[in-house]
Chains A and B, each alone.
Chain A
Amino acid sequence: MNVIETAGLGRRYGSTWALRDCTLSIPAGHLVALVGPNGAGKSTLLNLVVGLTPPTVGEVTVLGGATAGSVAALDAIAFVAQDMPLYRHLSVADMLHLTGNLNLRFDAAYARRRLAELGIGNKQKAGKLSGGQQAQLALTLALARRPRLLVLDEPTAPLDPVARHDFMATVLTAMADDGVSVVLSSHLLAELERVTDYLVLISHGRVRVNDDVENLLACHRLVSAATPERLTGIAGEVIESNTMGSQTHQLIRLAAPDTALPPTCESRAVGLEELALAYLREGITLPTLSPAGASR
């Protein structure tokens, strides 16, 4: 089953396309990282998936064919938006009560148990909690709805490292316990390496990467040789290339994991962060050297 499927999906705000030509299919059971530069359309895609905004063109379905925004879809998806949506003046108990009443399904016992484990008291006002606790509260409310798909928009960006670790531990434990699928957008590439097993990378409003991390790592290599000519003829796509001194390095997406490499070049595997960075740098035109900078 695919948790998200889109075809030719696009969303325009005014005369600007926030997302274009997005065709994706993401299988269930993964923690999917959605990565891309600012303004690439990540939040737009997530909003389309959870049904907060309708597509301008194309289609998006979730959890094996439910139309995004339909009652069936809304019931099975939990979404935590970028700004930790909580009513700041409500107490924790009131937030629980409210969320319970607004949803068809709500596991209040789970929520209370989890909050007790976290040391978050019932009478505390949501707005008075620390950043990490607010994030945990929003996450607990989302998970108590027992979703099949959990969508998180840059959830850990404002958190300190310990709070980030704890937040991700809660998400991943829910994944281990209930098999919930997770999609999260983030800029924190180094952190993603540990938690994600599926990568979707959007750049310039287009999907550049959409694959299992294991496959991705098997298909990408950094090859180096003394001259660029020695690197020609490798079956695959050059994602990034640079020449430094007497060496040329290229990050290549091989046609297949066992694609032959010329014996005259060195090659090594790359990590997820290195791989994603290469794609993110694509299409960024380096500033032309001004006369003052040409001295280098």
Chain B
Amino acid sequence: MTLDKRVSAAGEDGPSPITFRLDPASGVPTYLQLVHQVEHALRLGYLQRGDRLPKVREVVSTLAINPNTVLKAYKELETKGLTSGRPGQGTFIDGAVAQSTLPELTVLRRSLRTWFEQANAAGLDEDGIVALVTSSLRDFLERREPEPARGEQSAPRRRKGGAA
């Protein structure tokens, strides 16, 4: 069986001003989901320096979540040095994280795509691909851990942007 289901979705570029989505089944606290989505968008280059995050009110009224949750997420992002608040204007992506437009990213994405095509040809469906990627990544990180990790222990995959 060959399934070409949504393999291409990984290559789509999202709109630059981020729209938050929530996964109620993930078990991850809501504020952390928001933080992760911003970090994720930064890593993939969907969000750039100077981009504005949605206003608290916009997030609250579209997702029907507590305003204090959004404030907490935005505070966390600011503490991490990823954003800064401009009074009366909103919260903006700060220049401190400049890893977003790595040229390697395009190359990496292209090689992933080739790999997906191979996996697809080998008959793996979406779940199979996800399972394989997840377990290989875990193996890789575990094996890499003894080497001197940057920053704190057990967070080898997060590269911290310069301190704000």
Contact = CB atoms under 8 A, between A and B. Distances in A.
Given A30-B68, A194-B65, A194-B66, A173 B24 contact: no
Contacts of A168: 64
B91 interface: no
Contacts of A81: none
Q: Is the interface of A mostly helix, strand, loop or mixed?
A: helix
B27 A173 contact: no
A173 B66 contact: no
Contacts of A217: 29
Contacts of A175: 60, 66-67
Contacts of B57: 173, 176-177
B61 interface: yes
A197 B27 contact: no
A166 B29 CA distance: 21
Contacts of B69: 194, 197
Interface in A158-203: 165-166, 168-169, 172-173, 175-177, 190, 193-197
Contacts of A54: none
A17 B56 CA distance: 43
Interface residues of A, number: 20
A271 interface: yes
Interface string B42-80: 000000000000001100111111111100000000000
Nearest to A177: B57
Contacts of A31: 66, 68
B66 A197 contact: yes
Contacts of B29: 217
B24 A172 contact: no
Given A190-B24, A194-B22, A217-B29, A176 B67 contact: yes
A166 B61 CA distance: 8
13 contacts: A29-B68, A31-B66, A31-B68, A165-B64, A169-B60, A169-B61, A172-B64, A175-B67, A176-B57, A194-B63, A195-B66, A197-B66, A271-B27
Interface of B: 22, 24, 27, 29-30, 56-57, 60-69
- 8 closest residue pairs by CB, A with B: A176-B67, A169-B64, A168-B64, A173-B61, A176-B60, A176-B57, A197-B68, A172-B60
